[in-house]
C-alpha cells in the first residue's frame, strides 16, 4: 500500500507518494494539474481595460508552469523598462512598506512572500525589492515577469532596485541566459538586460532608512553622489556603482576603527565597517542601512556595536536557497518608525532537469556511458596505431570535432557509404571522444537528487545532501559569490614595478597576487589592475559544467553533432 503526503495549501498542489519501504513512488502523479498546454489568449492576458496585463491570471498561470507568447512577454519587459527609466537613481519611499531581499528565481517562495498574512496583499501593500530577482533558481523569468506585471499595474506600490545579478556578465555565467533561451529566445533575454539597465540603485524610506542591494562605497559621501551616476549601463567592476551592488559589511562590527578594506571574497568592491556606516548615516541624517546580497541562516541579520541600537540590517528572502541551504527567508514591514521582521519557510516547487533540458537531451550522457563501453570493445579489434598517409595517427587529444568530420549517409537511393580501412578507425575514435565527453557529464548530473548542485561541483569529496549544515554549504558555495574570474582585475606582484591606478589613501599600501592571499576581513589590498583567468567550476546554481560562453561547443551544437554521428552506420 502506497502512502502519500500532501503539501500544505500555501504551496503548489504537489503530493509526495511513498512506497511501503519509505522510498519515493514515482509511478503516481505528484502534481494534480500538469502545466497548461497553451499560452494565454489575449482575453486572458489583458485586463478588461486592455491596457494592462492581468496580474492575478499570470500569477496562477506561472504557478502551474505556464508560459506566455513571446510578444506578450516582450510587451511586459518593454513597458516595465519605460516605467523604470522615468524613476530617479534614488527612490523616495513613504511607509508603510514591506522590504524584501534576494529572490533568485524562487517563484513559489515569491508567491508565499506576497501572501496577505506575511508581506501583505500585492494590490494593497507597498513593496520595495532590493534586487537579485534572477539566476541560480530555475524560475527567474517567471519571477521577473510577475514583478514587472505588478509594477505596471501598481507603479507607485511596486518599487524595484537593481542587484548585482541584474547584469549581462552574471546572467551569462549563471542560469538566467540559458533559461531565457530554453523557455523563450535570445530576443527576450536582450529585452530583460535592457530592463536591468533601467533599474534604480537605491531608496530612502521616510528620510530614515537607506536601502540598497550591496552597501556603501569609499567613493560616496552623500546620497547626491548616487543621483549623479549614469545607471543606464552594464555595471562596471569598480567604482561607486559597483560598490552599491557588490560591497559587504565586515562580519565583525565591534571595532570602531574599521572603515573600508577590499573584498577578496567577492573579487571586487569592499568590506565596510562600523565607522563607515556610522559616518554615512550621520552625514545624511539617516538611522539605518538596509541591504540584501548575502544569505543568512535566519533570513536576516542585525549589526550593532557596543550594545547600541542596530545601524545595519541584511535581509534575504529566498528560503532554503538553491534547495540546499535550509535557511529561512525574511521580509521587514516598516511603518512610522516601527519595524517588524517576518520569517518564513520555503515552499515546495516543481523540479527542472539540469540546464532546463528535456528528458531526451538529459539522458544522452547516460546512454553515451554505455555506448562508450561498447565502442571501447569494438575498437580493440583495430590495430593500436594504424597509419594515415595524409593525417598521421591522431590521438584523442589531437582530435577536434567539427561538421567537416561528420559522415552523412548518401541521399541517393540505394547508395551506401563504406568507410575506408584507415578512415573507419579514425572516425570511430572521434565518435568515441564525443561520447566520452558526454559520458563525463554523467558524474555532473547523476549525483544530484533535487538540483544541479552537488559535491563534485562544489569541490567537496562527499555528496552535499539536503540537511547539510548551513555553514558547511555556504563555505562550499563561496566561490559562486565572486565576480566571475575572467572579470576580476588582479593586482601586480610587489616585486614588479607597479603601474595603473594608485592605492586609495585609506588602504594599507600592500599588494597581493591572488585574492586567496588575503584572509577574510583582513585589511588592505590595492585597487585591482589586471585580469585573471576563468577557473571557477560548475556548481550549485550555475549551468552544467562551466560558463556556456566559455565552452568549445554549446550544448545545442554538442547534441547536434551527436545526432549527426548517429546517422552514420559503422
How far, in Å, CA of 291 to CA of 300, rounded?
10
Would strands 127-129 and 97-100 be described as parallel, antiparallel, or unpaired? Answer: parallel
The residues assigned a catalytic role are 165
Within-domain flag for 97: yes
Cβ-contact 334, 99 below 8 angstroms: yes
Distance between CA 263 and CA 247 in Å, rounded? 7
Helix ranges (H only) for 292-391 are 359-379
* Res. 341: pLDDT tops 90: yes
How far apart are alpha carbons 62 and 42 in whole angstroms?
16
In-domain check, residue 513? no
Task: List phi, psi (to 5°) of 531.
Answer: -80, 145
Helices (H), 305-454: 359-379, 423-440, 442-445
d(CA 546, CA 51) in angstroms, rounded, equals 42
Mean pLDDT value of segment 357-376? 77
d(CA 143, CA 497): 49
Q: Are 445 and 354 in contact (CB under 8 A)?
A: yes
Give a yes or no: residue 11 inside a domain: no
* Residues 364, 440 contacting (CB under 8 angstroms): no
Query: Left (φ > 0), alpha (ψ -120 to 50) or beta: where does 337 sit?
Result: left
Q: Three-class SS of residue 390?
A: coil
The predicted structure's pLDDT at residue 424: 54
Taking the model in full, what pTM does it have? 0.75
Would you state the cell numbers that stand for residue 271, as one nine-digit string? 568590506
Label the pairing between strands 530-531 and 15-18: unpaired
Q: 308 and 92 in contact (C-beta within 8 Å)?
A: no
> pLDDT confidence of 25, banded at 50, 70, 90?
confident
Helix (H, G, I), strand (E, B), or coil: what is residue 156? coil
In this structure, the number of other CB atoms found within 10 A of the CB of residue 122 comes to 23
DSSP 6: E
Query: What does the pLDDT average to over 483-487?
Result: 81
Q: What is the pLDDT of residue 498?
A: 38
C-alpha cell at 465: 545532501
Cα–Cα distance list, 501 to 220, 238, 504, 510 (Å):
18, 12, 9, 14
Using the predicted structure, report yes or no on whether residue 530 has a pLDDT greater than 90. no
CA-based nearest residue to 538, from 440, 432, 398 = 440
Q: Is the pLDDT of residue 199 over 80?
A: yes
Q: Helix, strand or coil for residue 128?
A: strand
Of the candidates 481, 522, 472, which has an alpha carbon nearest to the alpha carbon of residue 250? 522
Relative to beta strand 90-93, strand 202-205 is parallel
pLDDT score recorded for residue 447? 40
Choice among 31-45, 84-98, 99-113, 145-159 with the minimum mean pLDDT: 31-45
Nearest to 95 by CA among 159, 163, 147: 159
Task: Tell me what percent of the residues of the chain surpass a pLDDT of 90.
Answer: 49
Number of domains in the chain: 1
DSSP 31: B
Burial class (CB in 10 A: 0-12, 13-18, 19+), 160: buried
Q: Quote the domain boundaries for residue 264.
A: 42-351
More confident residue, 341 or 10: 341
Q: Which three cell numbers stand for residue 138?
A: 530555475
> Regarding predicted confidence, which is higher, 426 or 82?
82
Backbone angles phi, psi at 334, to 5 degrees: -120, 130
**pLDDT tens digit sequence for 53-69:** 999 999 999 998 999 99
Q: Which three cell numbers stand for residue 248?
A: 559587504
| H helix or E strand, kind and range, residue 511 | none
**Residue 35, pLDDT score:** 63
What per-residue confidence (pLDDT) applies to 541?
57
Q: Considering the domain boundaries, does residue 504 fall inside one?
A: no
Residue 503 lies in a domain: no
pLDDT at site 121? 93
SS3 content of the chain, % helix, strand, coil (to 5): 35, 15, 55
- Answer yes or no: is 217 within a domain: yes
CA distances to 252, 262, 263, 264, 423 from 523, in Å: 13, 7, 9, 10, 62
436-450 pLDDT, tens digit each: 565 555 444 444 333
Instruction: Identify the CA nearest to 354 among candidates 480, 452, 440.
Output: 452
**DSSP assigned state of 14:** B
Closest CA to 80 of 150, 129, 174, 20: 150
**Non-local CB neighbours of 318 within 8 Å, separated by 6+ positions:** 101, 102, 103, 104, 106, 109, 137, 295, 329
pLDDT of residue 457: 36
Question: 487 near 504, Cβ under 8 Å?
Answer: no
pLDDT at 15: 73
d(CA 336, CA 35): 43
Residue 130 lies in a domain: yes
What is the pLDDT at residue 307? 67
Domain assignment present for 164: yes
Q: Dihedrals φ, ψ of 97, to 5°? A: -150, 145
- What are the cell numbers at 376? 571501447
- The 10s digit of each residue's pLDDT in 81-92 is 999 999 999 999
- pLDDT number for residue 466: 64
Residue 57: Cβ within 10 Å count: 17
- What pLDDT, in 10s, does the model give residues 97-108? 999 999 999 999
Q: Angle 70-85/186-196 helices, nearest 10 degrees? A: 10
CB contact at 8 A, 360 and 368: no
- Name the nearest CA neighbour of 565 among 421, 370, 413, 407: 407
CATH number at residue 290: 3.60.21.10
Q: 543 with 176: CB under 8 angstroms?
A: no
Q: What is the pLDDT of residues 241-294, one digit of tens each?
A: 999 999 999 987 766 677 899 999 999 999 999 999 999 999 999 999 999 999
> Omega before 96 cis (within 30°)?
yes
Cα–Cα distance measured from residue 402 to residue 400, given in angstroms and rounded to the nearest whole number: 7
Amino acid at each position: 500500500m502506497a502512502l502519500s503526503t500532501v503539501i500544505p495549501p500555501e504551496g503548489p498542489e504537489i503530493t509526495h507518494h511513498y512506497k511501503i519501504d519509505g522510498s519515493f513512488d514515482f509511478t503516481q502523479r505528484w502534481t494534480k494539474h500538469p502545466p497548461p498546454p497553451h499560452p494565454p489568449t489575449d482575453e486572458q492576458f489583458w485586463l478588461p481595460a486592455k491596457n494592462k496585463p492581468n496580474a492575478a491570471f499570470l500569477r496562477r498561470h506561472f504557478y502551474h508552469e505556464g508560459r506566455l507568447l513571446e510578444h506578450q512577454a516582450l510587451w511586459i519587459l518593454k513597458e516595465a523598462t519605460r516605467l523604470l527609466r522615468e524613476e530617479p537613481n534614488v527612490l523616495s519611499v513613504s511607509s508603510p512598506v514591506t522590504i524584501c531581499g534576494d529572490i533568485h528565481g524562487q517563484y513559489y517562495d515569491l508567491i508565499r512572500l506576497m501572501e496577505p498574512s506575511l508581506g501583505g496583499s500585492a494590490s494593497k501593500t507597498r513593496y520595495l525589492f532590493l534586487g537579485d530577482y534572477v539566476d541560480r533558481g530555475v524560475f527567474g523569468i517567471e519571477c521577473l515577469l510577475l514583478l514587472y506585471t505588478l509594477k505596471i499595474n501598481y507603479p507607485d506600490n511596486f518599487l524595484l532596485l537593481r542587484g548585482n545579478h541584474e547584469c549581462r556578465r552574471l546572467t551569462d555565467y549563471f542560469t538566467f541566459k540559458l533559461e531565457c533561451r530554453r523557455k523563450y529566445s535570445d530576443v527576450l533575454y536582450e529585452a530583460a538586460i535592457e530592463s536591468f539597465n533601467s533599474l534604480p540603485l537605491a531608496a530612502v524610506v521616510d528620510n530614515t532608512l537607506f536601502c540598497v542591494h550591496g552597501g556603501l562605497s569609499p567613493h560616496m559621501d552623500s546620497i547626491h553622489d548616487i543621483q549623479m551616476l549614469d545607471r543606464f549601463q552594464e555595471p562596471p567592476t569598480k567604482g561607486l556603482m559597483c560598490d552599491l551592488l557588490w560591497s559587504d559589511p565586515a562580519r565583525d562590527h565591534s571595532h570602531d576603527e574599521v572603515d573600508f578594506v577590499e573584498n577578496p571574497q567577492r573579487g571586487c568592491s569592499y568590506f565596510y565597517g562600523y565607522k563607515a556606516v556610522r559616518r554615512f548615516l550621520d552625514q545624511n541624517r539617516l538611522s539605518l542601512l538596509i541591504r540584501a546580497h548575502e544569505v543568512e541562516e535566519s533570513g536576516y541579520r542585525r549589526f550593532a556595536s557596543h550594545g547600541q541600537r542596530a545601524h545595519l540590517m541584511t535581509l534575504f528572502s529566498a528560503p532554503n536557497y538553491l534547495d540546499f541551504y535550509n535557511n529561512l527567508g525574511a521580509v521587514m514591514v516598516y511603518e512610522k518608525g516601527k519595524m517588524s521582521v517576518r520569517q518564513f519557510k520555503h515552499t515546495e516547487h516543481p523540479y527542472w532537469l539540469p540546464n532546463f533540458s528535456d528528458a531526451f537531451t538529459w539522458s544522452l550522457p547516460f546512454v553515451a556511458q554505455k555506448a562508450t563501453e561498447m565502442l571501447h570493445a569494438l575498437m580493440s579489434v583495430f590495430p593500436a596505431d594504424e597509419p594515415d598517409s595524409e593525417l598521421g595517427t591522431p590521438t584523442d587529444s589531437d582530435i577536434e570535432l567539427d561538421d567537416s568530420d561528420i559522415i552523412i549517409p548518401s541521399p541517393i537511393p540505394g547508395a551506401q557509404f563504406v568507410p575506408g580501412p584507415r578512415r573507419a578507425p579514425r572516425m570511430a575514435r572521434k565518435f568515441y571522444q564525443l561520447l566520452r565527453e558526454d559520458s563525463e557529464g554523467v558524474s555532473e548530473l547523476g549525483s544530484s537528487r533535487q538540483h544541479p548542485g552537488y559535491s563534485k561541483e562544489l569541490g567537496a569529496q562527499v555528496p552535499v545532501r539536503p540537511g547539510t549544515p548551513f555553514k558547511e554549504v555556504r563555505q562550499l558555495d563561496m566561490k559562486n559569490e565572486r565576480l566571475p574570474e575572467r572579470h576580476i582585475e588582479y593586482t601586480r606582484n610587489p616585486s614588479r614595478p607597479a603601474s595603473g591606478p594608485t592605492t586609495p589613501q585609506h588602504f594599507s599600501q600592500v599588494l597581493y597576487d591572488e585574492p586567496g592571499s588575503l584572509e577574510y576581513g583582513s585589511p588592505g589590498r590595492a585597487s585591482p589592475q589586471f585580469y585573471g583567468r576563468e577557473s571557477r567550476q560548475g556548481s550549485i546554481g550555475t549551468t552544467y559544467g562551466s560558463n556556456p560562453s566559455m565552452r568549445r561547443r554549446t550544448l545545442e551544437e554538442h547534441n547536434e553533432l551527436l545526432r549527426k554521428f548517429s546517422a552514420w552506420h559503422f
